[in-house]
Copies of this chain bind each other. A is one copy, B any other.
């Protein structure tokens, strides 16, 4: 069958009956959420166990179960590998790995897939694991990728039942209260795991800094936690930035940042109480900085900037240019310090950020957002998951959540990466549909979604280089040789969920290249 974007989707993917994507806001999920487990604990109970092995015993973790993790340490995480190694050693098989995201540091997951310890993955795969899955088909069911809000929704809706949640906690007490913003190795808020902790059959806090009761703030609460384990290492906070957190020095990217800033300033949204979401990419960081200067110049105070928190965003708060930062994850240590010190730097969880099945998402209050893409197409569809070579190399992050929430969603992209054009006829994979994308900013001009004639007019009046997306594409295509296209088989290796639980696209196995 075809979904509302014309993407070919099977009626079943693995054991799952597919609901095809119908539109960004076409589905109202009604009825009830999943029911959480009752738990109990008596005053004298002691939750602290001496090892991950003891925790695995205590939780009854066994073949075929689903285990979950957060990604807040990103490429510095040390918990996923430790838990999987312990499971492998015990001969546990067929686990479903339900991490928010996996990174190159988790490459040993590939061996666990080969040996049958892991047979399913739901969550983002950044780098080698996605590469392996794209070419392999070694999983018993296709992977499922969800946005930050989509993952929260899926757990609450009962789409994914977690058997054991393992929560890397930089600072925790023996009763299970835990935070990511304090301790020996802070990684930023760990509230990604708050929904796991509440819904899992058993919840394990894994910390390298066990402190006396009560640890606060409590992204993870004692009432959700069954077991606390202290280990030597949970992650390297120097790695939370994953190398992405540098202001770009590329003239092309700086030009894009400048054009994006100019477009925001002339969009009609740029006034007191203005709000925006920045990201951790080089262009986003540069826009955050440039926009701050424009706000200062214009005497504008924004209502909120939304994180991932960065020092650029914190700087705007400290200069009084935004009243508030709403933050679900930290991209650098300055942001973590600011959460500790600045009352107006408010931690929110991904449910509050972007749960489709809630009475309101913070992303819906955004005036604008500047987001990246691996590809865009002439229908303004955006791909952030695969590359033009067909390989699944990135997660969704909050892309869908923010793109569909912001009043003006801007995609900031260079037209070429190496010799590969970024604007294509049809994206390899749709992550966010064209209907939620308003503006595409490139170094060759600004393309505006035809449904936003109001924006084109404002930009044109301001003398900004508004162009047809097709014209920009044609100009770029003349500069490069056609690239080798992937030979894609029939086998589906991953499903891309829209944030409402429908399937917006699938990723197929890459058999080779033309």
Contact = CB atoms under 8 A, between A and B. Distances in A.
Nearest to A405: B43
Interface string A361-397: 1101100000000000000000000000000000000
Interface string A43-71: 10101000000000000000000000000
Interface stretch (A24-32, A73-81, A112-120, A410-418): A24-32
Nearest to A356: B40
A467 to B, nearest CB: 28
Contacts of A29: 38, 40
Given A352-B218, A352-B223, A361-B223, A36 B33 contact: yes
Contact of A214 (B34, B43, B304, B405): B304
A355 B198 CA distance: 14
Contact of A359 (B31, B39, B273, B303): B39
Contacts of A407: 43
A156 B45 CA distance: 23
Nearest to A152: B223
Contacts of A41: 358-361, 364
Contacts of A223: 351-352, 355, 358-361
B359 A40 contact: yes
A459 interface: no
B357 A40 contact: yes
Contacts of A226: 359
Contacts of A176: 359-360
A225 interface: yes
A213 interface: yes
A221 interface: yes
Nearest to A39: B359
Contacts of A504: none
Q: Could you say how many copies of this chain the assembly holds?
A: 2
A21 interface: no
A222 interface: yes
Contacts of A218: 346, 348, 352
Contacts of A326: 214
A28 B33 CA distance: 24
A175 interface: yes
A217 interface: yes
Q: Which 10 A-B pairs have the closest CB atoms?
A: A223-B358, A32-B35, A43-B364, A222-B360, A35-B35, A39-B359, A216-B346, A41-B360, A33-B36, A28-B40
Given A33-B37, A214-B346, A218-B348, 10 more contacts: A32-B36, A33-B36, A42-B364, A43-B405, A45-B360, A214-B304, A216-B324, A217-B346, A222-B361, A223-B360
20 contacts: A31-B37, A32-B37, A33-B38, A38-B157, A40-B356, A42-B364, A43-B405, A43-B407, A47-B359, A175-B365, A203-B359, A213-B303, A213-B304, A214-B303, A214-B326, A214-B365, A216-B344, A216-B346, A223-B351, A223-B358
Interface of A: 25, 28-43, 45, 47, 156-157, 175-176, 203, 212-214, 216-218, 221-226, 273, 303-304, 323-324, 326, 340, 343-344, 346, 348, 351-352, 355-362, 364-365, 404-405, 407
